[in-house]
Amino acid sequence: MGYSAGHTPMQRIGSVRLFQPLLELKLDNNFMVMAPSKPIRQRETVSTFLALSALSTVQIFTLSDDELP
């Protein structure tokens, strides 16, 4: 199905997901976590991004979840 923008026919090629602003939390010189900047409610599922520095030489890492008291 085609779309029209003025006189130019256009074809849909994909979609875009809009994310809320992310807070960047630097873990060390190699990793940064990008998480939602709004408060998170208990039992809420949250998507985060883990970014590796382009200058990093890390080949293997372990990501763990430490429980709070």
| pLDDT reported for residue 9 | 77
Question: pLDDT tens for residues 26-49?
Answer: 989 999 988 888 888 888 888 888
* Distance between CA atoms of residues 61 and 31, nearest Å: 10
Is the pLDDT confidence value at 3 over 60? no
Is the pLDDT confidence value at 58 over 80? yes
- Tell me how far apart the terminal alpha carbons of the chain are, to the nearest angstrom: 55
The residue extents of the domains of the chain are 19-54
